Structure formats: structure tokens, C-alpha cells
Amino acid sequence: PVNPTLESVLGEPAVASLDQLGEVLGPGETVDIVDVFRRPEHVASIVADCIRLKLPALWLQEGVVDLAAAERAAHAGIFTVMDRCLYKDRAALH
């Protein structure tokens, strides 16, 4: 997990930024999706990090809306979902 204010989330070590993920990923592990639970004013910098790190997918949770940043992510080839709940969407599939 990436959280600038916590040391761990559900027993997993957390890092302060996407740049630090290498510190907690094991050999051969990669990031599948960046699931954002931050206020919209933080999205532009998160998108910039996702683009720079070539991360494959970005999910902005309900209420997290930044059209310009989401468009930048999509144009960079990042699968992008905005203003939706990943948990609810996954549950609807079953």
C-alpha cells in the first residue's frame, strides 16, 4: 500500500509514495493497479507518477474526479477508471 501517513495497512508495510514501491515488492512482483482514495487535488501528481513509472492501470474511487488528469493517464496508455468503487464493481460481477 502507498499511504504517506501510515506505516502499514492491514498488516502490510506501507510506503509514502509510488516511487518507494520497490522497497516492499518482492522479486518478480509488479503493480497491477493504482487504486486512489485521495482527494481530487492529489490526482494530478499521482497520474504523473503513474505515467513516469509506466504503471498499467489507475482506478479513482467514488468522488475522486479530475477529468484532465484522467485524460492524461488514458492518453499515456494507462487503463483509467474514475469516480467508481472497485469493490462494488467487482461484487457486481459475481
Which residues constitute the domain of residue 39? 31-92
DSSP state of 25: P
Does one domain contain both 55 and 24?
no
Q: Do residues 36 and 26 both lie within one domain?
A: no
- pLDDT given at position 94: 86
- CATH code at position 56: 3.40.50.720
Q: Per the structure block, which three cell numbers stand in for 91?
A: 461484487
Torsion over CA: 25, 30, 35, 40 (sign): positive
Give the count of domains, the chain. Answer: 2
- Distance between CA atoms of 75 and 79, rounded to whole angstroms? 9
Same domain, 4 and 36: no
Q: How far apart are CA 68 and CA 65, in angstroms?
A: 9
CA 36 from chain centre, in angstroms, equals 5
Domain shared by 87 and 42, yes or no: yes
Write out pLDDT tens, residues 14-53.
999 999 998 889 999 999 999 999 999 999 999 999 999 9
Quick one: 24 and 48 in the same domain?
A: no
**DSSP H helices in the chain:** 43-53, 67-75, 86-92
Q: Kindly report, residue by residue over 47-71, the tens digit of the pLDDT.
A: 999 999 999 999 999 999 999 999 9
- Claim to verify: residue 44 and residue 75 sit in the same structural domain: yes
